[in-house]
Structure 1
Amino acid sequence: MRRLPEPPLQLIVFVVGMSILGAEIAAARLLAPYFGASTIVWANTIGIVLVALSGGYWYGGRLADRNPTREGLYKIVLLSGVLLAAVPFAADPFLGVAVDALDSISAGAFVGSLIGVTFLVATPVFVSGAVAPYALRLAVTGVEEAGTVSGRLYAISTVGSLLGTFTSALLFIPLIGTRRTFIVFGLALVALAAVGLARRRLTLAPAALLVLLALPVGTVKGETEDGAQVIHETNTEYQYARVVQEADGTRSLELNEGEAVHSQRRPGTFLTGNIWDEYMIVPFAAQDRPPERIAILGNAAGTTARAYGHYFPQTRIDGVEIDGELTDIGRKYFDMRAPRLTTHTADARPYLRRTDERYDAIFVDAYRQPYIPFYLATKEFFELARDRLKPGGVVVVNAGHPEGSDKLEKVLSATMASVFETVIRDPSEDTNTLLLGTDGRASAQRMAANAPTLPPDLQPLA
């Protein structure tokens, strides 16, 4: 059998660079269902990758000085690819056990994600890091060209890293999922090594990875409360999302590590017995008629929009959600529909800045526990929201917080009070408080006085 040409060193460092950064992006998404996608998780992921790369550079240099051969380089690339492709298969059992163990000692996302990314990604990245100095040793034939050759190889590797970042985040993860993304990058490395080593039995390795790529990935996070089941899950452009259905038919939308429910639909009713019901009545603390137009910033799967469409069908609703796939989930699994609902795939603050509409009520439900988008909690944001209100309009913020802690609520209340003449609170749940800001008058007594004018289902809430 005729041997294929050996892969050029430039191609090897390009593919390895692409795989390292692609794996880094995929690793953060792999941890998200268990530890979230906060800055802490990203910091741990980037930090461990850099430490592993540094170690790999050092060790690769030592190996190259001992006995630099093409075969040795191909073996390193092969090992790197196999380890990378194995990551998703080690992730499920390890992360499941790790989360339970860490919960038992009350360890948080920092410790959990640090251990997770170290166990899963450090070794493949360490091995991949050894490739660049080893390839450089093979490429340099004389001291007079060392600078040019090393600069060229590291530039090519960096371009590969850039491509790996974008293909992982924008192409592979949204289209084929996080687990298959690891297999794709592992397959690229294994195929490259198999061509270089030119051994017939090694062709089985890429073939095996292709088979794994075609297999169903199964449920990423299948554990639920007793009697519940996961009926849909996906890795969106922004996060991991799943729909859980309980035995009575109640459906809930969970994101990332599932610390909070972001939308809910109960069969046979438009109410949930949860925080979303409060949005129906809170505006009546400052207004004596149903809102003509509202904006929901953080619409998720449309629980509030659906209820408003039922109880106040004349209200025009702008549902703003940065993750368009959640809107699709809302339509398919949560019956998200309303006579005058318009959905917008946009970030909340840029949407408010661009819109010319004026609202009777702006609902801010974008504070994902346990994360708060800082740019939606500033004085400048609330000034922008105030400028998009009609006279007498209200801004209502869902301040989710740990049970027994009111620190976030106090900080948000103080910030809102620097913008609005009136700020009142509705501590409807142990972990959720609605804060209402307006330049008009607002009080619980006014809401109670308006209660008889509300639909019968809503009157007990007021």
Structure 2
Amino acid sequence: MTAQLDRTEGGTDQPARSYSLPLGVVVFVTGSVSLGAEIAATRLLEPWFGASTIVWANTIAVVLVALSVGYSIGGRLADRDPSMAGLSRIILVASVLIAAVPFVANPFLRASVDAFDSLSVGTFAGSLLGVMVLIAVPLLLVGAVSPYAVRLAVDRVEDSGRVAGRLYAISTFGSLVGTFAAALVLIPFVGTRRTFLVFALLLALAAIAGLRRHRLPALIVPALILVLIALPTGILKSGTAGSTVIWEKETRYQYGRVLQAADGERTLELNEGQAVHSLYRPGSYLTTGYWDQQLALMWAGRSDLRSVAILGSAAGTTARALGHYSPTTHIDAVEIDKAVTQAGRKYFDLQAPDLQTYADDARPWLERTTTKQDAIVIDAYRQPYIPFYLTTKEFFALVRDRLAPGGVVVVNVGQPAGSTKLEKVLAATMRTAFGDDRVYRDPAQRTNTLLVGTTDDTEPADALRAKAPTLPAEVEQVLDGSASRIEPALTGGDVYTDDKAPVEWLVDLSLAKVAETGEGR
């Protein structure tokens, strides 16, 4: 589909076909950029605001508003200047703005996060403003292309419906291709920054095909974009004071980085970096963090751990410690992100005598396995949220079924300091599978409580005290500490199901409450 006529810079009507791409190709390219840039924008925000559905909802909302405004403006501009040159200028400007996004993102987002932290404004407002500033204007221009193209392609009024339908179908198909290209190919293999640049390059080439008199000067834009694609990406986020980034990667699932302090201590951060997901201290298997309590509470049931599953093992802090202190235990370490497990082996000394790692999602893996576990540890957060399907009564029924007699489940509940709403919900939901008197809590850390579900009437504190003397002194102290703190779980929470589990709303409201009252600061 091509435009029949084009009013060129010289003022004469010329057949657009003689020097431009078919309009179908143009709208296909811009359609692919519209949703491909949306996927890339979300990945750009994740290291700063996290990977929740709140961030996704904000991104989608901004994209839809920008495209809607672009449709309206594009129609008006097309009526004023129905020419391929006019359309190409819009596309060229959009390409420049898309190319600029990843370069202005980091300083802007860093300043944005600092500002919102100081004002106690949450993820919703921060991510919304971030997306608006970064991609709203270029996507508004991209949205202007389809109605502009329809105006150029319609030669007779009686053909307008057929022409518009065809071009919008092509644009939608382009959006589908752009979505999968960004998510499955570009972001995993070339990174987020170069994903934006590839889309910008496609826009620039499409724009140049529609220019006649100024085509050669306009070639500067794709040439510069190619140079930017060739440049090394560098470090996405610099280290904090006293630490150095020794590894970072944009994986299929998230952004991750490893920081090393001057004393050799290493930490794993994922996405926005508000939590440490794994920790390594040279010469030590304990951390003084919640991983130590995870290790201890595995013995809240059986004294001999034959088989343990860790769902959400990250870089393997708990698996490594268990392998050292209980070398005969078979460990299934399940981590959805293979790159994080690889970083664990390289930077966190992830090894054990009988360790099997799996690159899989926690619940599907548990569905498939037939092994009866003596302990199942659940630590599958994408800070600050736990996946909703790991919070439901159906999930805990599955966990209960996969435990051997006397086995225990240990759930890490990360929550804002001073808030217990998530803990109460998980405790209430766990009781549907384990019973009212078999769910306990260990308030081990300021922002981490460990919930324990047992399969028999053994008191966890008694089991821990019985096991403690058989372990090295440093671990004995950890077990004794947990035994002194462990108590019946809190009551008052709702029971979540696969059909209804508003865990992100619960966490966001808890964060807002803490920010409002200043609790936990």
TM-score range, shorter chain: over 0.9
Letter in 2 for 1:258: G
Q: Distance in 2 between matches of 1:103 and 1:56?
A: 33
Letter in 1 for 2:294: Y
State the match for 1:456 in structure 2: 473
Cα RMSD over matched residues?
A: 1.3
- Superposition map of 1:182-221 within 5 A: 182-198=196-212, 199-221=215-237
- Which SS does the other structure have where 2:291 is aligned? helix
1:248 aligns with 2:263: yes
Find 1:328's aligned residue among 337, 342, 347: 342
Q: Distance in 1 between matches of 2:140 and 2:455?
A: 58
Mean Cα deviation higher: 411-420 or 313-322:
411-420
- Runs of at least 4 residues off by over 4 Å: none
Q: List per-residue Cα deviations over 1:187-233 (Å, max 9, x = no partner).
A: 11011212321421222211110000011122111141x21111111
Find 2:40's aligned residue among 2, 26, 31: 26
Q: Distance in 2 between matches of 1:200 and 1:284?
A: 72
- Superposition map of 1:272-287 within 5 A: 272-287=287-302
State the match for 1:391 in structure 2: 405
Q: Distance in 2 between matches of 1:293 and 1:429?
A: 26
Mean Cα deviation higher: 11-20 or 421-430:
421-430
1:229 aligns with 2:248: no
Q: List per-residue Cα deviations over 1:408-454 (Å, max 9, x = no partner).
A: 11221111112113111111111111111012123213311221112
Mean Cα deviation higher: 208-217 or 409-418:
409-418
Find 1:418's aligned residue among 422, 426, 432: 432
Find 2:125's aligned residue among 102, 106, 111: 111
Shift of 1:133: 0.4
Aligned residues of 2:286 and 2:292 also touching (Cα < 8 A) = yes
Q: How many residues align?
A: 458
Mean Cα deviation higher: 120-129 or 306-315:
306-315
- Superposition map of 1:23-172 within 5 A: 23-172=37-186
Shift of 1:4: 8.4
1:238 aligns with 2:258: no
- Which SS does the other structure have where 1:419 is aligned? helix
Q: List per-residue Cα deviations over 1:299-351 (Å, max 9, x = no partner).
A: 11111111111111111011111111111111111111111111111111111
Q: List per-residue Cα deviations over 1:352-399 (Å, max 9, x = no partner).
A: 111111100110011333112111011110100110111111111011
State the match for 1:15 in structure 2: 29
- Superposition map of 1:220-369 within 5 A: 220-224=236-240, 226-289=241-304, 291-369=305-383
Aligned residues of 2:106 and 2:236 also touching (Cα < 8 A) = yes
Aligned residues of 1:321 and 1:345 also touching (Cα < 8 A) = yes
Q: List per-residue Cα deviations over 1:239-290 (Å, max 9, x = no partner).
A: 111111111111000011111110110011111111111122212222222x
Aligned residues of 1:260 and 1:368 also touching (Cα < 8 A) = no
Letter in 1 for 2:71: Y
Shift of 1:186: 0.3
Aligned residues of 1:4 and 1:195 also touching (Cα < 8 A) = no
State the match for 2:13 in structure 1: none
5+ residue gaps, structure 2: 1-16, 480-521
- 1:85 and 1:212, CA in 2 relative to 1: closer, same or farther beyond 3 A? same
Find 1:375's aligned residue among 389, 402, 409: 389
Aligned residues of 1:78 and 1:194 also touching (Cα < 8 A) = yes
Q: Distance in 1 between matches of 2:287 and 2:18?
A: 64
Mean Cα deviation higher: 3-12 or 238-247:
3-12
State the match for 2:463 in structure 1: 446
Q: Distance in 1 between matches of 2:59 and 2:239?
A: 25
Aligned residues of 1:424 and 1:442 also touching (Cα < 8 A) = no
Aligned residues of 2:311 and 2:380 also touching (Cα < 8 A) = yes
Q: Distance in 2 between matches of 1:429 and 1:138?
A: 64
Aligned residues of 1:28 and 1:41 also touching (Cα < 8 A) = yes
Q: Distance in 2 between matches of 1:170 and 1:188?
A: 18
Letter in 2 for 1:436: V
Shift of 1:18: 0.3
Aligned residues of 2:314 and 2:341 also touching (Cα < 8 A) = yes
Q: Distance in 1 between matches of 2:101 and 2:262?
A: 34
- Which SS does the other structure have where 1:458 is aligned? helix
Find 2:445's aligned residue among 423, 429, 433: 429
- Which SS does the other structure have where 2:210 is aligned? helix
- Which SS does the other structure have where 1:165 is aligned? helix
Aligned residues of 1:360 and 1:394 also touching (Cα < 8 A) = yes
- Which SS does the other structure have where 2:434 is aligned? coil
Q: Distance in 2 between matches of 1:101 and 1:281?
A: 40
Shift of 1:67: 2.1
Q: Distance in 2 between matches of 1:213 and 1:288?
A: 57
- Which SS does the other structure have where 1:197 is aligned? coil
Q: Distance in 1 between matches of 2:39 and 2:303?
A: 50
Aligned residues of 2:35 and 2:179 also touching (Cα < 8 A) = yes
